[in-house]
Structure 1
Amino acid sequence: MTQTTYDNLSGRTALVTGAASGMGEATARLLAAHGARVALLARRADRLTELAAKIGADGGQSLALPTDLTDQDSVDAAAERVHAAYGRVDLVVNAAGVMLPNPVTDGRADEWQRMLDTNVAGALRVVRAFTADLIATAAAGGTADLVNISSIGAHVPFPNYAVYGATKAALTYLSQSLRTELGPLDVRVTNLEPGLTESELASHVDNADLSGQLDGMFEALTGLSSDDIADLIAYTTSRPRHVNLRHAVILPTRQA
């Protein structure tokens, strides 16, 4: 019988980065609504506490863990708390990201470093902290998932988004390479590349011209919602363990 629900999420232990807003928050809420215990990682403690309260009010289970993904010690401390509270993690979603578009000629090295530290190194720190959990889960016959949220910008160039796109291209390549290492161990690796999607990423833009450009695109293209991405993640990770939806590009219907 073909599975059409998210029943396989019940009883799983998930970890979601970037859970304070946008795609991370929507994913955490949806996974919890379908019976997963969810560790919530992000920098903003107040937002995480609020989200954990909402999940609890809806009958779900979550753990708020204020974490700085640019700091390995902070990530390791979060991992210790997750393991103490929930044990082994079997579903990891790297949803945290920073988007700071500007012309390369502006030379904003601080912004470049922030994007690299969060979008690439941050994801790697999480992989380092939880890959052993995923491998052990799969070895014991369980379902193990690593989901990385990249971007359509990983392979479609946009003016002024060179560094952001480069970080997402790195994440897409990392996903492909990790699949060659983890797939033979029955750990699924999924790379998602959303197109125009409503999230807090747009609020990171401090260039008025580029911010206005994004507003115009949302008006013309009817962008995706964070819930749309969460729905795809829940679908992907609730498939039978031998099925790996490994790479998906998700666009608004009007986006070329």
Structure 2
Amino acid sequence: MTTTTATAATTTATTATTGYPQLADRTAVVTGAASGMGEATARLLAASGARVALLARRADRLADLAAELTAAGGRALAVPVDVTDQGAVDAAAAAVHAAFGRVDLVVNAAGVMLPNPVADGRLDEWQRMVDTNLTGALRVVAAFRADLVAAAAAGRTADLVNVSSIGAHLTFPGYAVYSATKAALTHLSAALRTEFGPLDVRVTNIEPGLTETELGSHVDNPELAAQLDGMFRVIPPLTAEDVADLIAWTTSRRPGVNLRQAVVLPTRQA
């Protein structure tokens, strides 16, 4: 038992240090890169030798992250963008193309979680979640679809990864609209495979369970915030790095293998 644990710990440490060499020289776009799963994914891809375009709203955080990754020998580009703004997404795509050329790996990790009972009528929150979690992801897909298809046609590996949530399947009081946006993203991912798969572009949908990120800090309902805090006390959550590791492992498989969907949960989460 001791030997097995030590080996697992060594493997994890090695992966965090060296990354996935199969991803070297790929060109990636990661949304939501200013924090959480997006940031962790960008870090791991850069450590693996990929060129990484960092997309998110918070320009200061992106600039700091790009500088850090570059100083460590990586290749990173900070591209401030709000995925709910079509013009901003178009400008971001142009900036990525100018700096890095064609993209062959897209990770849609931008998302917001704003739970409240539907009876509260928080149209502002509903609109923001739909615009970010679903329409924002679609805007990014549209902006880089031609890149992925061209990369695959040229014989390169091409990946689209959408980060959904276990909330796409489970129901929680107060989370109806958030869960609906994630269910839509999950179904969108499955449907996109019917269009992208025949063109040799892989589509993967990742559904994390309870994960330690900034999303919980956005909850403004005291009762729901307390419930979420209680879950974190009872269930040791995933880390953003756990999800990033799954994304990197998935996209480093040989081109003929597509992990269609992955549900990743903390061991204690049912």
The alignment status of 1:178 with 2:192, answered yes or no, reads yes
Which residue in 2 is equivalent to 1:85? Answer: 99
| Higher relative contact order (CA closer than 8 Å, sequence separation 6+) | 1
1:126 corresponds to: 140
1:29 equivalent to 2:43? Answer yes
Instruction: Pick the aligned partner of 2:255 from 214, 217, 241.
Output: 241
Aligned residue in 2 for 1:109: 123
Seq. identity, %? 75
Q: Give the one of 65, 75, 82 matched to 1:51.
A: 65
Q: Hey, what's the Cα distance between the residues in 1 that align with 2:225 and 2:50?
A: 36
In the alignment, is residue 63 of structure 1 matched against residue 61 of structure 2?
Answer: no
Pair 1:155-2:169 in alignment: yes
* Counterpart Cα distance in 2 of 1:214 and 1:28: 27
Structure 1, gaps ≥5 residues long: none
2:23 aligns to what? 9
- Report the alpha carbon displacement of residue 211 of structure 1 after superposing the two structures with TM: 1.1
1:212 Cα deviation from its structure 2 partner: 1.4
CA–CA separation in structure 2 for the residues paired with 1:222 and 1:127: 33
Instruction: State TM-score, norm by structure 2.
Output: 0.93
> 2:95 matched to 1:74?
no
Q: What amino acid is the match of 1:14?
A: A
Q: Whole-Å Cα distance in 2 between the matches of residues 124 and 107 of structure 1?
A: 25
Compute the RMSD of aligned alpha carbons.
0.9
Given residue 41 of structure 2, which amino acid in structure 1 is its aligned partner? T
Shift of 1:247: 0.1
1:210 aligns to 2:224 (yes or no)? yes
Deviation at 1:30, TM superposition (A): 0.3
Alignment of 1:133-152 (within 5 A): 133-152=147-166
Number of equivalences: 253
- Deviation string, structure 1 residues 147-189 (Cα, Å, up to 9, x no partner): 0000000011111000000000000000000001000100000
Query: Is 1:188 aligned to 2:202, yes or no?
Result: yes
* TM-superposed deviation, 1:98: 0.5
Distance 1:246 1:7 in 2: 22
Once residues 213 and 223 of structure 1 are traced to their aligned partners in structure 2, the CA distance between those partners, rounded to angstroms, is: 14
Unaligned 5+ segments in structure 2 are 1-14
- Give the drift of 1:69: 0.4
